[in-house]
Amino acid sequence: DGDLKFSLESVKKLKELMDENRSINPRMVVSKTTYSPCNEKDLPEEFQAVCKREDAPMIFERLSMAVRDADLCEICANAACSGCF
């Protein structure tokens, strides 16, 4: 995301956390642009620096969208994914 780089596994974990939080109670829909997983105990350590940023919720949302379909990401169909040979 911009000049920030994260491992694919960490971004997948982030997406899991974000998806779990949104499906807890369908009546209390959490806005995608305001939710931040920074208080989640399972948040990968490499995201701690992002949590200190004012734009953290938007960064997390963009990262989550980048791995929306993990299979496509792993075969390098998504330009946001790296490590392709």
How does pLDDT run along the chain (85 residues), one tens digit per residue? Answer: 778 889 888 988 998 888 887 655 555 555 555 567 898 889 999 999 999 999 998 999 888 887 776 555 555 555 556 555 4
What is the structure's pLDDT at 80? 58
Residue 18 lies in a domain: yes
Region of residue 69 (phi > 0: left; psi between -120 and 50: alpha; otherwise: beta)? beta
Domain count, the chain: 1
Contact 8, 81 (CB under 8 A): yes
Give Cβ neighbours of residue 18 (< 8 Å, ≥ 6 apart).
Answer: 35, 37, 60, 61, 64
Write down the pLDDT at residue 85: 45
* Residues of the domain holding 49: 8-75
* Residue found under tokens 């995608």: 32
Is there a domain that residue 80 lies in?
Answer: no
In a domain, residue 82? The reply is no
The pLDDT assigned to 23 comes to 57
